[in-house]
Amino acid sequence: MLEWALDALRASPGVGEIVVALPEGYDAPEGCVGVRGGAERSHSVRAALAASSGDPILVQDAARPMLTPEIVAACLAGLGDADAAIAAAPVTDTIKEAHDGAVRRTLDRSVLWAVQTPQVFRRAALEAALAQPDDVLARATDDASLVEAAGGTVRIVPTSASNLKVTTPHDLEIAELLLRHAQA
């Protein structure tokens, strides 16, 4: 999956250097700088940021193999004067907030977005967000939320739900089908 995402990054004119956070014992893919990943995703991003020289900074999850150069270009263009721009798909399901198995309320899906990667940041905004203690970083589910919490401006770049994250065997089956279809 990492190679599929890297292929899209390599084919993106707006991407210069690629830094990959890897588990110990793994070598960097060809043409990439490798750094040791951290215990949590934001720790890995912090390590990769320290090894990079770019601005803006694009963060991509290896678990999202459906990345395309078009999504990368849209996110880079979406940064504008903001601190961050994030790929996201509109939520189509009805979403319920529940506590202890009891529904408390139904959320308005017209204002909800399923956040994806890439996420593009002004270097200074991401550095400030990642300068927080390790325990704060460990609780963050994405780096844009850290920029938000620091008062930064984060813009949504609408994308398709097909830019899915592979976390379950079912997700992998869907990704394989989409990739086969894209190559046909």
CATH at 37:
3.90.550.10
Q: Which among 153, 83, 74, 76 is positioned nearest to 123, based on CA atoms?
A: 83
What is the pLDDT at residue 184?
Answer: 73
Q: Which two tokens stand for residue 126?
A: 């991401």
pLDDT 10s digits, 149-181: 999 999 999 999 999 999 999 999 998 898 888
Domain extent, residue 97, equals 2-183
pLDDT-based confidence at residue 123 (cuts at 50, 70, 90)? very high
pTM tops 0.85, yes or no: yes
What is the pLDDT at residue 126?
Answer: 97
SS3 144: helix
- Alpha-carbon span 174 to 76, nearest angstrom: 27
Mean pLDDT estimate for the chain: 94
Domain tally, the chain: 1
**Beta-bridge partners for 46:** none
What is the pLDDT at residue 1?
Answer: 83
pLDDT-based confidence at residue 86 (cuts at 50, 70, 90)? very high
State the average pLDDT over residues 29-57: 94
pLDDT-based confidence at residue 39 (cuts at 50, 70, 90)? confident
66 contacts: CB under 8 Å, gap ≥ 6: 4, 162, 163, 164, 175, 178, 179
**Burial class of residue 89 (count of CB atoms within 10 Å of its CB; 0-12, 13-18, 19+):** middle
State the average pLDDT over residues 9-14: 93
State the average pLDDT over residues 33-38: 94
